[in-house]
Amino acid sequence: MKTITLLRHADTISREEYRLTNKKDKSDLFRPLSKLGKIQSKHIAKFALEHLSFDLVVCSPAKRTLQTLKPLKKFLPKNCIMISEYIAPDCGLEGYMKLTQNKAFMEAQNVLIIGHQPDLKSFATYIAPPFNALVPKGVLIRLVLEQGAKSLAKDFEGSGVIDFVIPPFVLEDFKTK
């Protein structure tokens, strides 16, 4: 059985605020988390450490996803973390399909993907067609793939079920002490 946990990056400053306050690089790739987002990322890490396990963590190269990963990263082996251009912002479902062809992804049984909207929802819906929930910043979505699903993108289509969807406000109960 393979599990894929999707995590939308934590709360960020708005695009408009970033463009107005950043004089150097206005690329959305460098937009950071907000203060709330940094707190959310700690809650996410605490929950994940207490209740989940991953043998592969795949993260978009965007600053906000890397910042979301940061509190969890110090507890993970370096060799299980992969930064992937495939799931950069606006990669579409195609980027996630490319990711599923990666050897490390194919071999892993418990994968965490830290990415962006609307691509995360597209991927979740591809795997579990009934999925039609909102995907707010900081949400965790866990999908369980059926035993017969191989590690090929075409085999993932419709092969999963939704295990849980946890919005960020629920994770506040898992504050770092």
pLDDT of residue 40: 96
Q: Which domain holds residue 97?
A: 2-174
pLDDT of residue 150: 56
At residue 45, does pLDDT exceed 90? Answer: yes
Q: Convert the pLDDT of each residue in 25-38 to its tens digit.
A: 778 899 999 999 99
Q: What is the mean pLDDT of residues 94-121?
A: 96
Beta bridge partners of 59: 83, 114
What gap in Å lies between CA 45 and CA 31, rounded to an integer? 21
Total structural domains in the chain? 1
What gap in Å lies between CA 5 and CA 164, rounded to an integer? 9
Q: What is the pTM of this model?
A: 0.92
What gap in Å lies between CA 153 and CA 2, rounded to an integer? 13
Q: Convert the pLDDT of each residue in 110-157 to its tens digit.
A: 999 999 999 999 999 999 998 988 899 999 999 999 865 555 556 788
CATH number of the domain residue 141 falls in: 3.40.50.1240
